[in-house]
Amino acid sequence: MILRGASLASAEAPYPPSPVIADIALDWSTHQRHALGSDNWQLTWADDDHQYGAWGDGGGFGGNNRDGRVGLGYGRIEGDWHNYQGFNVWGGKNAENSAQFSGKSWGTIAIGGVLYSWVIPDEPDTGGPRDHYRYIQLARSTDHAAHWTKPDWRWWREDNLMIPTFLVNGKDNAGARDGYVYSYFIRPQHMNVTHADFGLVVHKPGALFLARVPKDKVFAGRDAYEWFTGMTGSSPAWGPLAAKKPVFENPEGTGWCVSASYNPGLQRYLLATEHTVSHQSVMSLFDAPEPWGPWTTVKYWTPNDRFGRSRPGSRLDWSDNVFFFSFAPKWFSPDGRRFTLVFTGGGNGKNNDSLNTVRGTFRLRG
């Protein structure tokens, strides 16, 4: 994909400024880095008070790109934001349990003591080369990521869907607004997109679809899911897959992965993804009072003002290669103003190709 200078310079936020959050400030003196060579790391907060998340293409905690490397692993993080420790639960170096299958994930959630994870393939079992876009599967663990099982149904690229994430609502999803579990799915740039011909880049124009399912039917099958089909007055409408409509749009694109979480202190839903160009720290953060919006802009980094451009207090090696960040759900302060950002990048086994955390503060309006 050729990136032209004019398009890079034209990045403009697609939604008005947040009425609640004026800005964010990151304390780079708190920057920590672990599991070098293992990327992704969207976290969920489980009933045992630990956080869990998936990594890709590395050895996890204590490993690297060669030592203990797996395509997909799951880790457990114990402790507070400033003093935590990571363990390889499933896959990786000296893992507590061996990995059962490969793939990637940017969406894991804990509900009633059970972990669910959206998984996309590395090499699809339908044949062909490496392709993260081919289909989407669900995995379930009833023993805190030690073992996983998959159902016999999938979402497909032909459904105009790719690489989803769960909306995470606090410990064991106890902060959920209702009895549904919500997931955001990225709309591919075109229906026959493949990893080989398109790559892991920004999809333009960007759009996300929103699905919901009763929390006791997450594993039940495709027909249990309803899709956002637009607004009827001030209420969202829900319908079948064929009637789905975008819940979020950005002409400058969305990244090929996304994160979503609820901040209970501020009572705002937070949505993060890339735009304009991928793997170059051109990130964006949006918020809303409900999972379906209306969306407003918290922070819109640009090619001229990239995420992490200035990092006073951090001595860790850096390159402008960040492509994903999320919020650690356990580490929001009670008032919602303080948070821990978890981010990762494409450093090919170096710098941000790892689990990175940094403490931050939301600056509120008024």
Task: Read off the pLDDT of residues 252-297 as tens digits, 9 standing for 90 and up.
Answer: 999 999 999 999 999 999 999 999 999 999 999 999 999 999 999 9
Q: If we measure between CA atoms, which residue out of 8, 39, 93, 21 comes closest to residue 256?
A: 39
Mean pLDDT of 109-118: 98
Is it the case that residue 10 has pLDDT exceeding 80? no
9 burial via Cβ count (<10 Å: 0-12, 13-18, 19+): exposed
Report the SS3 class of residue 197: helix
Report the SS3 class of residue 35: coil
Contact 132, 104 (CB under 8 A): yes
* Greatest Cα pair distance in the chain: 56
Residue 229 has φ and ψ, to the nearest 5°, of -120, 10
* Mean pLDDT of the chain, nearest integer: 96
Distance between CA atoms of residues 324 and 343, nearest Å: 6
- pLDDT band at 5, cuts 50/70/90? very low
- pLDDT band at 366, cuts 50/70/90? confident
Chain centroid to CA 208: 13
Distance between CA atoms of residues 177 and 233, nearest Å: 20
309 burial via Cβ count (<10 Å: 0-12, 13-18, 19+): exposed
Q: Report the share of the chain in percent with pLDDT over 70.
A: 97
Give the pairing type, strands 296-300 and 162-168.
unpaired
Contact 286, 301 (CB under 8 A): no
Omega before 240 within 30 of 0, i.e. cis: no
Q: What pLDDT sits at residue 43?
A: 98
How far the first Cα of the chain sits from its last, in Å, is 43
Which tokens in the block code for residue 40? 């992704």
Q: What is the pLDDT of residues 14-52, one digit of tens each?
A: 999 999 999 999 999 999 999 999 999 999 999 999 999
Q: Report the share of the chain in percent with pLDDT over 90.
A: 97
Q: What is the pLDDT of residues 303-358, one digit of tens each?
A: 999 999 999 999 999 999 999 999 999 999 999 999 999 999 999 999 999 999 99
Q: Find the Cα–Cα–Cα–Cα dihedral 79, 272, 360, 296, rounded to 10°.
A: -140
Which tokens in the block code for residue 343? 């981010």
Number of H helices, E strands in the chain: 2, 22
Q: What is the pLDDT of residues 206-224, one digit of tens each?
A: 999 999 999 999 999 999 9
Q: If we measure between CA atoms, which residue out of 50, 48, 69 comes closest to residue 60?
A: 69
